[in-house]
Amino acid sequence: MSFLLWLLLPVAAASGWLVAQHQKRRKPISSHLSPDYLKGLNYWLREEPDKAIDIFIKLIDVNNETFETHLALGVLFRRRGEVNQAIHIHQNIIKIPTLDPQKRNLALFELAHDYQNAGLFDRAEDVFKNLLIVENYQIPALSQLLKIYEQEQEWEKAIKVAQKLAKLSGKKMPIAQYYCEQAENYREQGNTNRVQQLIQKALDTDPFCVRASIIEASLALENNDYRQAIVAFKRVEKQDHKYIIEIIDDLHDCYHAIGQIDQFQVYLQAILNRYDEITPILSFVKIIQQQLGRQQAIDFVSKQMLERPSLCSINSFLALSKADNTLLHNTITQLLNNKAFYKCNNCGFTARKLYWHCPSCKKWNTMKSIQGIDGD
């Protein structure tokens, strides 16, 4: 599409100029082309497209007929990263007093995009907000506003916009994650009451919000409220058992602190019976070995090696094995040190730490621990 636009630009400029000349003179179109057009074409042939475009744009009057060309050119400039040119073109369009209102709204929407890409968030926000009164633009403008608020980490505004979007589109929005973001901020400030309120809001909005449970449990752990921490940590299993690995060490510490390690052993055994796809990371296997015995740990790792062969399961097996394989064990440990543990289900971004908001595609809650030979 972009390539076609580039190709058609001189043609559009020529036809626009000829139509303009015709309208001005009200007499037959001259067969002579403007010197400016020839100059532009010359730049084009010399592969100086920026200079050529400047001339061609001046040649085509912005009106209802040439609107699409100008709009598309602006978008093209923005995609090339030349946002100032894009802003200039789209601002030119909305200046036309006779422009059809629907076309004007379309140009405004693109202009707001330009501002957003240029980092002029206040201006982008104003334009998107103004478009909210136009029914067709409610969902697209709210979606863009949400992106701005996420980028600016304005969680209160993000929550309000996401609530409206959820109502209008019927889609699930990551509102619970925004409450968690706020909770993390208040936690840093030491405002425990506010953190607890926000965690509750997150869970009311999304009872399956693992992150809210982990924040709640970690806060309780900080305050030595081990029983409360156990309740919150164990909730993670019901919300999404793939995150058990994130909490098992801390849960072990909580049971240890209240002197009920036997209950932890019962829970650990139940977890192993219930789920097959738990990542056999070394710390987890170590806990199984300590709490349930070496044979249980070997059984667990052997099963994982057969069902989902991975460096992690092989390494865990070597750690448990009595044979002298230190060199192999250390080599695999080194290999694992350079490997990502988490992968975004949406875009494939990998990382060694868990991100609730994918740094690449900006989706929420899409990163999960990697299973199988390529990952853990």
DSSP labels for 118-129?
TT-HHHHHHHHH
Over the window 293 to 332, marking each residue x when it contacts Zn ion by CB under 5 A and - when it does not, the resulting string is: ----------------------------------------
For residue 140, the minimal CB distance to Zn ion (Å) is 22
With contacts defined by CB under 5 A, how many residues of the chain interact with Zn ion? 7
Judged by CB under 5 A, the stretch of 54-62, 117-125, 179-187, 359-367 that binds Zn ion is: 359-367
For residue 207, the minimal CB distance to Zn ion (Å) is 24
Nearer to Zn ion, 185 or 360 (CB): 360
Q: Return the structure tokens found at 12.
A: 């559009």
Nearer to Zn ion, 25 or 352 (CB): 352
* β 350-351/342-344 pair status: antiparallel
For residue 28, the minimal CB distance to Zn ion (Å) is 59
For residue 358, the minimal CB distance to Zn ion (Å) is 3
Choose among 135, 136, 139, 141: nearest CA to 111.
Answer: 141
Identity of residue 247:
I
- Give the whole-angstrom CA distance, residue 355 versus residue 353: 6
Nearer to Zn ion, 144 or 366 (CB): 366
Nearer to Zn ion, 248 or 358 (CB): 358
Degrees, nearest 5: CA angle 252-254-258: 120
In a 13 Å sphere around the CA of 282, the CA atoms on its Cβ side amount to 12
Q: Return the structure tokens found at 75.
A: 């978008």
Nearer to Zn ion, 333 or 346 (CB): 346
Taking CB under 5 A as the criterion, which residues in 24-53 touch Zn ion? none
Taking CB under 5 A as the criterion, which residues in 326-355 touch Zn ion? 344, 346-347, 349
Nearer to Zn ion, 235 or 343 (CB): 343
Of residues 8, 38, 258, 361, which one binds Zn ion by CB under 5 A?
A: 361
* Residue partners of 221: CB distance under 8 A and separation at least 6: 229, 250, 253, 254
* Residue partners of 88: CB distance under 8 A and separation at least 6: none
Of residues 287, 358, 371, 375, which one binds Zn ion by CB under 5 A?
A: 358
- Give the whole-angstrom CA distance, residue 75 versus residue 97: 22
For residue 356, the minimal CB distance to Zn ion (Å) is 12
In the 3-class helix/strand/coil scheme, how is 143-161 assigned residue by residue? HHHHHHHHHCCCHHHHHHH
Of residues 163, 355, 360, 368, which one binds Zn ion by CB under 5 A?
A: 360
370 touching Zn ion, by CB under 5 A: no
For residue 173, the minimal CB distance to Zn ion (Å) is 17
Q: Return the structure tokens found at 222.
A: 């900080």
Nearer to Zn ion, 132 or 340 (CB): 340
Longest dimension (CA), the chain: 99
Question: Which residue ranges make up the site for Zn ion (CB under 5 A)?
Answer: 344, 346-347, 349, 358, 360-361
